[in-house]
Amino acid sequence: MPPPLTSRSQGRRHADRQAEARLRELTAATQRVREQDRTRISRELHDDIGQLLAAVRMDVGLLLRAQGLAPSEHHLLKQVDSRLHDAIVSLRRIAAALRPHVLDHGGLFPAIQALQHDFCKRSGMQCSLFADEADLQLDDDDFNTGVYRIVQEGLHNAIAHSGGTAVTMSLYRLDHQLLITIADDGKGIEEADLHKPGSLGLLGMRERVLALGGDISIGKDEGGGTRIDVTLPLPPAGPAEDNALPPGSGI
């Protein structure tokens, strides 16, 4: 005899929840592997090709200081030196974008500040950051990386697609959640763009949010422009401030 409808629908809800949890775990694992690959490639670019280019530049420096160079040879070597310098700067930028050193050694707040400065400088857009450093002192690599990548893609899109002049990021802790908003004053995202085939940025954002068990909404803001709202449950360990000594208790 078939089970009563209520227990059948309860069973289906249970199966749905299990499937959702499995999908979340799988997505988190995929993101982790992707991030490990980025870290490895970034380190190899920096330590391997970066060191090689630096060594070649030192050799060019030695040649430039050698006696008896014809002016045309000196000019050519100067050009080689300048191109090597540009290549080293580009390589550092690419390696840093793959895996920012500051995220591993400074934490989420300075990493997001560095994103803000970098994007501001390169785009000419006005980038404002509203965040409390204490809210972002979280000791969870998956969480920090996820938040960083979400903000990075939001900023990148604002600069690449919005046509606006200003972008605002805010990151606040409310109860046991982190609320992230990225909003620009551009033309606003179209409904059809939300699932554009071949576009990976928004998809990646959604995957990160799913892996961290949060929610995301992307759409046109009331006053025009695009607005992205993300809510993420804080990782279990919570911010470092929870374990901090009360003020005045000394070292």
Ligand X SMILES: Nc1ncnc2c1ncn2[C@@H]1O[C@H](COP(=O)(O)OP(=O)(O)OP(=O)(O)O)[C@@H](O)[C@H]1O
Q: How many residues bind Mg ion (CB under 5 A)?
A: 2
226-233/177-184 β-pairing = antiparallel
Stretch of 14-22, 89-97, 170-178, 197-205 contacting Mg ion, by CB under 5 A: 197-205
Answer yes or no whether residue 238 interacts with Mg ion by CB under 5 A: no
Q: For residue 53, what are the β-bridge partners?
A: none
Q: Shortest distance, CB of residue 179 to ligand X, whole angstroms?
A: 19
Q: Which window, 58-66, 123-131, 137-145, 155-163, contacts Mg ion (CB under 5 A)?
A: 155-163
Amino acid code (one letter) for 133? E
* Residues in touch with ligand X (CB under 6 A): 157-158, 160-162, 184, 186-187, 189, 193, 196, 199-202, 226
Comparing CB distances to Mg ion, the nearer of 42 and 157 is 157
Q: Which does 161 bind (CB under 5 to 8 A by kind): ligand X, Mg ion, none?
A: ligand X
Cβ of 7: how many Cβ atoms within 10 Å? 10
Among 107, 110, 201, 224, binds Mg ion (CB under 5 A): 201
- For residue 24, the minimal CB distance to ligand X (Å) is 21
Q: Which of 42, 144, 145, 157 binds Mg ion (CB under 5 A)?
A: 157
Tokens of 38: 């980025």
Closest CB to ligand X among 186 and 235?
186
Please state, in angstroms and rounded to a whole number, the distance separating the CA atoms of residues 35 and 191.
30
Residue 131 backbone phi and psi in degrees, to 5 = -160, 155
Other Cβ atoms within 10 Å of 45 Cβ, number = 17
Residue 200 CB, nearest distance to Mg ion (Å)? 7
Part of the chain binding Mg ion (CB under 5 A), chosen from 89-97, 138-146, 198-206, 213-221: 198-206
Q: Tokens at residue 118, please?
A: 């970098």
Task: Report the interface residues with Mg ion, using CB under 5 A.
Answer: 157, 201
